[in-house]
Amino acid sequence: MAQPRSRHVCQACGAVYGKWAGRCEACGAWNTIVEEATRETVPLGGKRRARDSGTGRKFAFTDLDDTPVEVPRRITGIAEFDRVTGGGLVSGSALLIGGDPGIGKSTLLLQVVGALAQGKAGTAPRCAYISGEEAVDQMRLRAARLNLTSAAIQLAAATSIRDILATLDTAPGADGAPEVVVIDTIQTMYVDSLESAPGTVAQVRASAQELIRLAKRRGFTVLLVGHVTKEGLIAGPMVLEHMVDTVLYFEGERGHQFRILRAVKNRFGPTDEIGVFEMTDGGLIEVPNPSALFLSEYRDDVIGAAVFAGMEGTRPVLVEIQALIAPSSFATPRRAVVGWDAGRLAMVLAVLEARCGLALAGRDVYLNVAGGLRITEPAADLAVAAALASSLTDLPMPPKTVVFGEIGLSGEVRPVGQRDSRLKEAAKLGFTQALAPPRVDTASAGRRPAIKVRELRRLADLLALFDGTRGARRRRERHQNQAAPQ
């Protein structure tokens, strides 16, 4: 009998090595390579199946316009979730929802299947929730807390893939077989033919493969939950991303009550939409107007803060950007960024220094996107520069002002897309002025938003707002009066 072979697998990215190493060459992570005992054969779903080697026969091609590619969707009725999935769940597809432990994945998915089962948006498909982490009673308690006790969700506590497959391997809809299945979490599931422990890359991959294959064959939607740790140490979503149709990440700061659902891969929709939720005592509630939430603590006389009029997919989102420039006590000054790209900050700082003559050497720079949002748009450049300039000059921004625009290396302000959506959202939230790049689309029809737009061509135009002019002096006085003790 052949010896069980062992191999070394990076638990972060799934790369396989013949021997142990301290650092994974594929993803660069340290101390993530773990020995896994494994046999190569994976008896699947109880039946041993030979590897699919094809039949050797020719297959026929079809034309692009042959079949209508209308994928039937199942709207959940939770609008923020439907937006991120691109308009509901697709039958026979697999979704992965990743996120830090405790962020609210189980809560979100229980609410999603609860809404589906209650038929919030039309038909009520049969839904099952299989948990490998919680007992059925715990799930009932959670459902009670979420006010879902009347929803017809089938609950089960199970971890064996063989048992789960045996249970689900019936036609969906027939004899109460579920049409939507949640597996919480994929790290707790195991395939008994593999010797490695649950949660290892081999187990996670094999378990997911089995579930996805069955979902495609039987036509149910499977929602896989996956934990990610900060270190990426648990074999997780990274090794599954290519296997599923849709990857969603549920993120948020522990200290904040809001959570953001983001699509990073979607075979059935766009990937730039976000869903915003607020975690409350009664579960997650949708936040249809995120700008109001992100700006709830914003005051416009604060030094080092600027409001960025951003876009998340098709939706405008206003968010506060905070900067602090302080004398450094280090030989190499610190640059700390939360919620934005560090490389992009370095570029904005370099342009401020080289093109506008700001002295930033020997100073620490901290940048924070308030509320835990992560911005990826280059359009935030100008708002970041405004926050930095405000901190450096010790002057607040002009009141009720939003900022957006990309900055080029020569110090020019470049136009960005969806200008009118940004301006409209700002006007809606009571802002009266926007600092923006020059308008390019002169032919744009429709009503102009009711907001004054100050067009900036160069970064120096922005800094002029912070020099010793009368307006700036007045702002400083107002700030000092307000800051003075009563």
Q: Coil, strand, or helix at residue 389?
A: helix
In the shown chain, the binding pattern of residues 50 to 89 toward ligand TYD, with x for contact by CB under 6 A and - for none, equals ----------------------------------------
CB of 244 to Mg ion, least distance (A): 18
Q: Coil, strand, or helix at residue 305?
A: strand
Q: Buried (b) or exposed (e) across 177-199, using 16+ Cβ within 10 A?
A: bbbbbbbbbbbbbbbebbebebb
Check binding of 28 to ligand TYD (CB under 6 A).
Answer: no
Q: Which of the stretches 31-39, 94-102, 287-295, 322-330 binds ligand TYD when contact is defined by CB under 6 A?
A: 94-102
Answer positive or negative: Cα dihedral of 81, 86, 88, 94: negative
Q: Which of the stretches 83-91, 105-113, 332-340, 353-361 binds Mg ion when contact is defined by CB under 5 A?
A: 105-113
Determine which residue in the list 283, 304, 396, 437 makes contact with ligand TYD, applying CB under 6 A: 283
CB of 140 to Mg ion, least distance (A): 15
Check binding of 91 to Mg ion (CB under 5 A).
Answer: no
Q: List own/partner pairs for 397-400 with CB under 8 A and 24 or more apart.
A: 397/300, 397/305, 397/306, 397/307, 397/465, 398/433, 398/465, 398/471, 398/475, 399/300, 399/301, 399/475, 400/300, 400/430, 400/431, 400/432, 400/433
Determine which residue in the list 38, 76, 93, 106 makes contact with ligand TYD, applying CB under 6 A: 106
CB of 182 to Mg ion, least distance (A): 10
Which partner, Mg ion, ligand TYD, none, binds residue 102 by CB below 5 to 8 Å per kind?
ligand TYD
Check binding of 187 to Mg ion (CB under 5 A).
Answer: no
Check binding of 114 to ligand TYD (CB under 6 A).
Answer: no
Which partner, ligand TYD, Mg ion, none, binds residue 94 by CB below 5 to 8 Å per kind?
none
The site for ligand TYD, by CB under 6 A, has a size of: 15
Q: Coil, strand, or helix at residue 461?
A: helix
Looking at the Cβ atoms of 76 and 106, the one nearer to Mg ion is 106
The site for Mg ion, by CB under 5 A, has a size of: 1
Q: Coil, strand, or helix at residue 418?
A: coil
CB of 169 to Mg ion, least distance (A): 26
- Per DSSP, helices labelled H in 269-311 are 290-294
CB of 305 to ligand TYD, least distance (A): 29
Q: Count CA within 13 A, CB hemisphere, residue 449.
A: 20
Determine which residue in the list 106, 291, 322, 391 makes contact with Mg ion, applying CB under 5 A: 106
Looking at the Cβ atoms of 245 and 251, the one nearer to ligand TYD is 251
Q: How far is CA 61 from CA 20, 66, 68, in A?
A: 46, 10, 16
Q: Which of the stretches 11-19, 100-108, 239-247, 353-361 binds ligand TYD when contact is defined by CB under 6 A?
A: 100-108
Q: Buried (b) or exposed (e) across 241-250, using 16+ Cβ within 10 A?
A: eebbbbbbbb
Q: Please tell me what DSSP assigns to residue 160.
A: B
Helix, strand, coil content of the chain in percent (nearest 5):
30, 25, 45
Give the binding site for Mg ion (CB under 5 A). Answer: 106
Residue numbers at the binding site for ligand TYD (CB under 6 A)? 99, 101-107, 142, 145-146, 279, 281-283
